[in-house]
């Protein structure tokens, strides 16, 4: 029986030693797994932080770009309004100038027409007067020619 007890004690001792060694192995394995898990978690956190920073940078760039686009759009609209105003003013001035030129031209044409009309009336009066002078001169010459012919033909005929 003692031998058996000794064998059982030895078996228990050996089992205890195996359990302790197994316990140490499990503790080491758990420690390595915990370390690996912590490294993995730290790595994932680092990746997430970098992604968050990249997203924030992209959002900031996007806001800046949107702001610049808005400013550009507003500047373009202001420029377009300025050009439209300038063009409108220029066209209005040109239209006014053309109307002024046309008005002056019409007035000049009207004055010229009046001058031509007055000259025509003067020429008509002159022609009437000249016609009267020519008729009078013709009548006088005809009378004189008639007297001359009567003088030449008169006593002998």
Q: What is the largest CA-CA distance in the chain?
A: 220
pLDDT in tens, 83-92: 999 999 999 9
CA distance 128 to 126: 5
Average pLDDT over the chain reads 92
pLDDT in tens, 48-81: 999 999 999 999 999 999 999 999 999 999 999 9
> pTM for the full model?
0.42
Residue 156 has pLDDT above 70, yes or no: no
Q: According to the model, what pLDDT value does residue 151 have?
A: 84
Q: Which residue bears the tokens 């992209």?
A: 58
- What is the number of other CB atoms lying within 10 angstroms of the CB of residue 122? 10
Using alpha carbons only, what angle is made at residue 117 by residues 115 and 121, rounded to the nearest 5 degrees? 115
């Amino acid at each position: 029986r003692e031998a058996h007890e000794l064998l059982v004690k030895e078996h228990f001792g050996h089992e205890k030693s195996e359990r302790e060694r197994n316990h140490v192995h499990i503790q080491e394995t758990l420690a390595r797994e915990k370390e690996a898990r912590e490294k993995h978690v730290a790595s994932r956190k680092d990746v997430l932080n970098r992604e968050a920073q990249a997203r924030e940078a992209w959002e900031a760039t996007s806001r800046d770009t949107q702001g610049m686009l808005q400013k550009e759009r507003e500047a373009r609209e202001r420029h377009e309004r300025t050009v439209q105003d300038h063009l409108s003013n220029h066209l209005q001035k040109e239209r006014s100038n053309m109307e002024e030129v046309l008005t002056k031209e019409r007035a000049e044409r009207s004055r010229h027409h009046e001058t031509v009309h007055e000259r025509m009336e003067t020429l008509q009066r002159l022609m009437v007067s000249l016609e009267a002078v020519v008729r009078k001169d013709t009548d006088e010459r005809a009378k004189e020619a008639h007297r001359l012919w009567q003088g030449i033909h008169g006593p002998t005929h």
